[in-house]
Amino acid sequence: MTFITPKAKHGDASDGNLGGRLSRLDGPAKITGSATYAAEHQIDGLVYAVTVQSTIAAGVVTSVDASAAEASPGVLLVLTPDNIMPLKSATTWAGTPGPEGPFLALPRIVSFNGQHIAAVVAETLEQATAAAALIRVTYEEKAHVYGLDDPKAGEGVPIDRMTMSRGDAVKALAEAPVRIEQEYRTPREYNVAIEPHGIIARWEADSLTLWEPSQWIDGMARSYAEWFDIPFENVRMISPYIGGGFGSKALSLPHGAVAAIAARMLGKPVKLVVTRPQTFTAYGGRPATRQTLALGATREGKLLSIVQHGVNETSMLGVAVEPLGSVTAIMYAVPNFSSRQNIIPLNTVTPGALRAPGENPSAFGIESAIDELAYEVGIDPLQIRLLNYAEEDPQAKIPWSTRRLREAFAAGAEAFGWSKRSPAPRSMREGKQLIGWGVAAGTYPVRRTPGEALVRILADGTAEVASSSIDMGQGTYTILAQTAAEVLGIPVEQVRVKLGDSALPRAPVAGGSQLANLMTGAVHKAAHAARDELIGLALNHPGSPFLDQQTNTLTIADGVISTPRSEQPAISIADFMRVIGQEKVEALRDTLPEDKKNTQDRYNNFTTMMAMKPPTEGGYSLHSWCAHFVEVRVDEDFGTVRVSRMVSALDSGRLYNPKLAESQWRGGIIMGIGQALLEEGVVDPRYARVINNNLGDYLVATNADIPDLQVISVGVPDHHASVLGGKAVGELPIVGVAPAIANAVFHATGKRIRDLPITLDKLL
Amino acid sequence: MKNFTYVRAGSAQEARTASALAGSMILAGGTTLLDLAKCGVAEPDTVVDITHLAGLDRIEVDGTGASIGSLARMSAVADHPAMQDAFPAVTQSLALAASAQIRNMATIGGNLLQRTRCPYFRDAAVFPACNKRSPGSGCSALGGVTRNHAVLGTSDACIATYPGDLAVALVAFDAVVHLGSRATPVDDFFLLPGNHPDREHAMDRGEIITSVTIPLSAAARRSVYLKIRDRQSYEFAAASAAVGLELEEDGRTVRDVRIALGGVATKPWRVRAVEAALIGKVLEPELVRQASLLSMQGAADHGANHYKIDLAPRVITRAVLQLGGLA
């Protein structure tokens, strides 16, 4: 359990209020190293597990020779497909039943290269590592499918729920005076959080405690409870700090099951941290995607039709869909649209979520294609976007709640100096550097799930906020303290926030950029309830100095209770609590609808994504928006691309803490630059194995790759989107970065790169 | 990583004796050894620690050249003002290599001995065939993903790229590797893979690098290390060139030029044919462009690395023209 207490104000009047630029409250703990991450917890009697991964992509484990490992010093247990405890199949994140049959954390059937197939537990990490290297596995190997380009991959399986249409897109395309059709591709990409995935599991009788980085305490706790067939309440999951998740730490994974099984079998707490190379197959990153986009337009550039067909890879075991039509469907006012999508099963770990799953590759397609159309009809890439501006949601045919994309284009263009752009490709240069300017838009939906929070005013006048929601760096600790401080009328440094513990009030997944909105909403509600109760006591308690005041409410500011119209009486909350002999005033509130407060609905609300409302529910279409303006410099001899300048204008509605929101935006943009220019899981077709499975060879952007990033907020409070007016923040900024860069590269070089990343060999 | 015996050498001679035993390896900066031990490629029985040996970290520059102790840190050499003055290509090659953290730990001797980044070499569990790691076992890179593999100096047994930067600059300027009592030109120190890619250096078991010397030259003083890669920091070269240029008094005619390539060959690759084509000529862009193509004589690609054949001559051209004031 972690208490985060603000240390000091910064002399800024807005420090404590929602909307103020308070620095992250967890910052000092992280900088000084006192923040304890999952694998750093010191647990008595800890032993260590190391997994062995498959070296083939498809087949069956016919035998595992563990004799040498078992005889190795310090070894306590070797787990293989022969002795792995079968677990119960767990409910999926969507709330649907899990696969039939038991869940085998170390399966005999191998469906991807790098699958966990054995594990060694020993007294020390070194002993476990050494013994794991002695395990000899014999396989019966079968033919594998390595990737989308494998001739054996086929056309895949259509996903009907991805099919969208309006008008008659095929006919309108055929009749359109201008048509372009191209294929756009994105490779397999990884979340590569700096904190690798790891876990400490400890059993006490039938209760399981897990220290594991988690973006979704309650959802992951449910999986463990169901796997081991124990009550949900018997799983305690603790995750006060997460060293980066980006979507990869929201679900329980096989290595977690292995650790918990080993801990149960040994009666000892077990730590299992996957190595960096192992992380590349211990979770699934973004699947490789491919989409064909056909755009039909008038000669003036007015869109008439879009026809899209997309595919993404998935595993042989699970259905992972990266919705490639998500941005295509809503970005432009096009009357005729059709989109369908297939998934292609192949021998890979089941892909997962990586920052803006769906919207990210979807935007790469449509925002590249609209740029191609702009050149085709000879108008400015920014103009064509305004020409086709969607005044309402063209797919749902309902109004936007707020869509400040026009303002984003205007603010971004102004700050960037877009009007000085020379239109022709290869028309701007400095020596050997070809200069290109590109623009692209992005969007991310507002996702909504009810939340819950406890706010407690203590005898000393300070307050606590408690929730099982998490902070993986996005600022939950800080904005919840700000929310409570503002409502309670106490200084922000007198609010302590407790997060990341399943013993606390429930929270849904920290994913889909929903957490800030739903948790500020829940804390706001609970804090109001606590404040009302405190004021009620002050008005009614026999010992209260306000008992005889002719007033029906009171004011609380700077921790002092007073009447609205006079200076006296006034009493600090602490003194008041002492006077009336009260230990605490607390309120637990949720934002569940009245008809969803029953036990089962509550459980599903927090442990599955069943209750997450679509962005179009409620009569408005809710989305965040952004526009990225990029300058690249491409060396004409070497093909190297450098992003030299970037301005992004973003509409995330109201910002609860602009400093933290801007930081999230910049982080997403940086990730987008890496995606555009560097990131690619390289697969050897012969082995269906990712061969650049380390941070030296899987290239993410370094500081040297990132110019000064100017971000501009153009949002306004959107109370259709959330109680306090915020929209999506975290996933928005990466959407549109890669196409903006690709468009700038085209402007610089005249070469259109439609498959990411844009490496130098593609431009030579 | 398997257990090993740790030996702290009391002197260079002790280090030689201890490292002469089969299964022993020298520990200097440790940046390569630890990395390779973690991925199971290096499995020493004995680790001989030489980090504290006195006098092996000296950097001396005088009127004849530089002498760099094998234990000098990469960052110390890169930041050495006299080195920057006399051998800019050398200090640049160091500053552009690895990451700041690695440069602060890694030593000059260890840098020369770094192993290839070939992914098939680094993953023994999945790719048992690697002639460099396990002589006679075959080469997994052939037929695999070869974007980063060599196009020069390859053999049927190995196409792994020599990954370093420093050695490229040293080869260009005729540096000498000192192994205690004997010395060898750095160009001869690195071996072509041939049929024995496991043997990478002209150095016997029980020998340790004590220093590297670089003779002073006008070309070295007017030199540059140009490194081309997708990421601007912490990435190996797609292609690099160490180039030094000395012009006649007319400021246009090439008196001396030294050129070596990195990132494209199985060893640091001196391109004397290009040098010969330029010496005595008046420097002008087309001449340099044509001459630089000679650097790819004998080049053979494996598909995905074909771009290196196009890229490397352009890197030479840019570096030469830049030094000549023409780019």
- A505-519 pLDDT, tens per residue? 999 999 999 999 999
Indicate the residue of A431, A678, A686 with minimum beta-carbon distance to B144.
A686
The more confident residue out of A15 and A749 is A749
List the single residue in A with minimal CA-CA distance to B127.
Answer: A55
The verdict on a CB contact (< 8 Å) between A113 and B3 is no
Domains A27-35+449-607 and A289-447+616-762 share a fold: yes
Percent of chain A with pLDDT over 90: 96
List the single residue in B with minimal CA-CA distance to A431.
Answer: B327
The verdict on a CB contact (< 8 Å) between B311 and A432 is no
DSSP string, A686-744: TTTEES--STTTS----GGG---EEEEE-----TTT-TTSB---SSGGGTTHHHHHHHH
B1 interfacial to chain A (CB closer than 8 Å) = yes
Distance between CA A382 and CA A37 in Å, rounded? 45
Query: Can you list the domains of chain B with their CATH numbers?
Result: 5-49 (3.30.43), 218-323 (3.30.390.50)
State residue A9's pLDDT score.
44
Work out the average pLDDT over B53-57.
95
Work out the average pLDDT over A398-413.
98
Q: Which residues pair with A164 in a beta bridge?
A: A339
State residue A567's pLDDT score.
79
CA distance B314 to chain A (A): 6
Nearest to A672 by CA among A754, A733, A625: A733
On the question of pLDDT at A701 being above 60, the answer is yes
Which of A134, A194, A634, A637 should be substituted to probe chain B, the one whose Cβ sees the most B Cβ atoms within 10 Å? A637
Report whether A137 contacts A66 (CB < 8 A).
no
The verdict on a CB contact (< 8 Å) between B235 and A699 is yes
Mode of pairing for the β-strands spanning A59-65 and A555-557: unpaired
Mode of pairing for the β-strands spanning B46-49 and B24-27: parallel
DSSP string, A593-642: -GGG-SHHHHHHHHHSSTTPBPTTTTSSB-EEEEEEEEEEEEETTT--EE
Within 10 angstroms of residue B322's Cβ, the number of other Cβ atoms is: 15
Top-level class of domain A39-143+199-275: alpha beta
The verdict on a CB contact (< 8 Å) between B228 and A640 is yes
Residue A7 binned pLDDT confidence (cut-offs 50, 70, 90): very low
Q: Would you name the residues of A annotated as active-site residues?
A: 731
State the architecture of A289-447+616-762 in CATH terms: 2-Layer Sandwich (3.30)
On the question of pLDDT at A529 being above 80, the answer is yes
Work out the average pLDDT over A480-505.
97
In whole numbers, what is the pLDDT of chain B averaged over residues? 97
Domain spanning A27-35+449-607 has what CATH number? 3.30.365.10
Longest dimension (CA), chain B: 63
State residue A272's pLDDT score.
98
Tokens of B26: 């020298």
Chain B residues within 8 A of A639 when measuring between CB atoms = 311
Q: Is A182 helix (H, G, I), strand (E, B) or coil?
A: strand
Least confident of A119-133, A274-288, A563-577: A563-577
Indicate the residue of A133, A692, A699 with minimum beta-carbon distance to B230.
A699
A166 sits in which H/E element: strand A164-166
Tokens of A539: 């008005």
Q: Specify whether the backbone of A435 is left (phi greater than 0), alpha (psi in -120 to 50) or beta.
A: beta
State residue A5's pLDDT score.
57
Indicate the residue of B39, B145, B228 with minimum beta-carbon distance to A638.
B228
On the question of pLDDT at B230 being above 90, the answer is yes
The domain limits of chain A are: 27-35+449-607, 39-143+199-275, 289-447+616-762
The more confident residue out of A7 and B306 is B306
State residue B3's pLDDT score.
84
The verdict on a CB contact (< 8 Å) between A277 and B39 is yes
On the question of pLDDT at A297 being above 70, the answer is yes
Q: Is A368 helix (H, G, I), strand (E, B) or coil?
A: helix
The verdict on a CB contact (< 8 Å) between A684 and B144 is yes
B311 interfacial to chain A (CB closer than 8 Å) = yes
Longest dimension (CA), chain A: 86
On the question of pLDDT at A655 being above 50, the answer is yes
Measured at the alpha carbon of residue A82, what is the angle toward residues A76 and A88, in degrees to the nearest 5? 95
Residue A13 binned pLDDT confidence (cut-offs 50, 70, 90): very low
**What number is the ipTM of this complex?**
0.97
In whole numbers, what is the pLDDT of chain A averaged over residues? 96
